[in-house]
Structure 1
């Protein structure tokens, strides 16, 4: 059994002595193996002491009953992060049953194929994806046939993205994430219309991967409910005028794939996803439905000892759409730059990640330094710096730059 204590403090750099986050997270990781069978359990207890983040803890309508954390007041929660049984089946094949994460794609800081599990956006995208992903109850069958690996997923767990409530620190304000709401009109939220846990509402996924001619190749398909809620609005006039808002979820098909190949000191990689029936808000308080093509092209350069330079170009295109009334561009382009270098036999690591949206001219810069003092203690310090217009994905948080300190103690 492994037990970790992660302590985090984050302080706003815009408002002196303004505390954004102060929390402790206890994680117990248990593995039990017998013969070829293995049971893995990850239990987590989290205590958040800062008011700006407390509002997230009771915001659990996105979870199905079997996945919902247990909350204690408005400060603490206990959750089963993962709980699954892994075992061989037939000859050379593998079956994993239980609550787990499945990661598709390897893009830095963005998700193109990595959509099997929903995500918590309580801290926007600042938290590590391994922690912000919401594990799901599923059946994961991997069939090994020579150099080919086939993965089959059945996911009856219909938990969705956990979105921050409006009063929390990272509550979304950019108009692309919510419909236009008239001023001075009372708002009434209806019950979240997340799909119920029934067989007909299950998600299904397929993945084929292989190594062909020096290329790592994968082809992915996912039939699923989009995890992002779409807020429909209706103006009601009875005794008084009220704007009724209903979170709804819609089916989509994802077809995609990935390629990667090392050539000397450079690794070329790309991944893409074609998604059907994507919904986007328009200024006329209507929804536009369109298929969308997203892709990332990346180069990883390992020319210097213990140093990685990674660049990515990311594009998202709405197909057969010329509508100029959307709150997002029909064709969106962004890029990222990651520079990482290790020192002292990889005990000290420095890193900076820059993400920039060229349409809205906003972005995020994340310098970080990590020191592994011993097997039992790791220290991390970093900055999260937002910039740009408040209508942008990153610019909406331009006043929320922060300095954070983390300490991980292992027992």
Structure 2
């Protein structure tokens, strides 16, 4: 099946072909016709399934079908795409521009961490498609610099991650500013009770699509676990990088402090490494990611949330320096390698504190992961597990005016 058989215009198919895509992925084959029919959509899809094109292509098609003469003299914002992070917002908006380059449609991305004034000036001109993070969009709504009263299509991308970050109240506030009659598209890697509750409040008789992770996640990625003493992890990682001469290694840590500490340790070991997380300014994050993509930095250390939106087509190596608290995040992490049919490798450095997390991941994946130990870095067989420093999930947060992960204003902080 080709993209043209899905009902997309020649202009869109030409742009898709220019990016090297000739056949739609499973989620695209199901989502595109449903969206073109005007149906609401509840889609379960993980990283690497092609979901971004799954909603941007039909969105562009539907908006382009309405003639300019049918619109007001100052065309309003017609589609809103909400994403959890700045990087993902920039990536989605880039896809909108690329796929819509032969159409008479305009787009922009707005997110925090940068000066709001250029965004205000840009919003005064024509913007058909707005890609935004919830926090910065609320800033614009409060300043009355954005009008969402003519939105025709709403997209919630990675809705589960937005809920994890505490954006649910922001999302509900934004939705009150939208017209009641609109098309709603919700994409989520998992369908938690919160996601189902949100879907029930905003979706109207939605089409349900669930797409399994691409084969690359489970079949083309060489997964391995190294059991290691908790205080020898950074030394082992340095050893492995040098021994195998790895370049473009994406390393995940549990916390921002842990990311910075690991970067310092790797640098001291003669390995170029930079960190990306919510305490970095947007300019620094953008520059860091560009250096990593260009191969100027050997190792990029990231927290889960900051890594959302990092899209490198042939990333060879992913390392879990810390195992994630949530088993589903393991699949998200390793799914950043082995894309588009290429081989990839994902390894995890696991200490005694994380054996339970490893068991949960193996249960989720319904398979055991091969385990090894390297001489000189073996764990002490008599070591006892210690409590793990966690990211304070919302279910465990104490009741307080300022909760972990939120600013004094109550708005979620980016990690």
TM-score (norm 2): 0.28
Higher relative contact order (CA 8 A, sep 6+): 2
TM-score (norm 1): 0.28
Structure with more of its chain in helix, by fraction: 2
